[in-house]
Amino acid sequence: MKKSFKLMAVCLAAATMLSMSACGGKNSDESGVSEGSSSLDNIKRNGYITMSTNAEFEPFEYNEGSEIVGIDVEISKKIAEKLGVKLRMNDVAFGALIQEITSGKADFVAAGMTADDDRRKNVDFSDNYFDARQAVIVRLDSDIKEPKDLDGKKVGVQEGTTGDIYCTNEDGSSEIKVASVERYNKGMDAVSDLISGRIDAVVIDDFPADKFVDKNSSKIKKLESMLTEEKYAIAVKKGNTELMELINEVLKEMNESGEMDQILNQYLVKE
């Protein structure tokens, strides 16, 4: 009796390990077939859907205790709920998110990700769900008053983001010409370097900028003028129209029911 219980426990542990390794990003289902692993049938059969994000981006995704919370997490929960499955989340560097999808580690990415043409070469985007802009954060006593004052300055960005692309200005299309770009994995680390004087400004999306400023308002501020206009969307594997359509349906329902506004209000005003 005792022995069989022990055996069961071992089996259970093995099964858990198996499912955990799937969660950890194997791009294949049990049959070893990687193609179509994000199909709705597979997702339903597995009983979970995997979303990848970078939980350093309050109010869209951030850690509260041991939990990842935020606007994108609320939307992702709705997507899982619509499919009747559990939500699993991978927290990775922002620069690794597109690869999470192309490699099949994630079914979708919800990360305050701007739907831009370069990314569209590798993933498909859902309908837009949020309008954002790049903002500039400086120290309270800074001589940077306008975006054009960034010329010749040392600017911190989150690596691989549209703020990084804008400041790096590889194609020469940005209005500003900064002296150097410092790249960070976490926006918070860029803000710390700004406060300690190692860099002159941080360029980051406007709502995360507000959160950083709120927490350090005796030291830093956000410039009123913004740099870019962008739209956030959810990314899926190229050609996965059935998941894309389902996500668009969820976004539409959330907009029509007023739930999206409610969630945005809840997180954008929350301190």
For residue 203, the tally of other CB atoms under 10 A from its CB is 27
CB 226 → ligand GLN: shortest distance, Å? 13
What gap in Å lies between CA 183 and CA 172, rounded to an integer? 19
Over the window 101 to 120, marking each residue x when it contacts ligand GLN by CB under 6 A and - when it does not, the resulting string is: ----------xxxx------
Separation in Å, CA 157 to CA 91, 97, 161 = 19, 17, 8
Radius of gyration of the chain from its Cα atoms, rounded to whole angstroms? 21
Of 204, 158, 130, residue with least CA distance to 213: 204
What gap in Å lies between CA 208 and CA 185, rounded to an integer? 14
What gap in Å lies between CA 166 and CA 172, rounded to an integer? 9
Contact call for residue 209 and ligand GLN (CB under 6 A): no
Do the beta carbons of residue 49 and residue 85 sit within 8 Å? yes
**Which of 29, 58, 107, 205 touches ligand GLN by CB under 6 A?**
205
Contact call for residue 228 and ligand GLN (CB under 6 A): no
Q: Site for ligand GLN (CB under 6 A): how many residues?
A: 13
CB 87 → ligand GLN: shortest distance, Å? 18
Candidate ranges 23-31, 155-163, 209-217, 221-229; the one touching ligand GLN (CB under 6 A): 155-163
CB 44 → ligand GLN: shortest distance, Å? 29
Contact call for residue 126 and ligand GLN (CB under 6 A): no
Point out which residues bind ligand GLN (CB under 6 A).
54, 57, 94, 111-114, 132, 158, 161-162, 205, 230
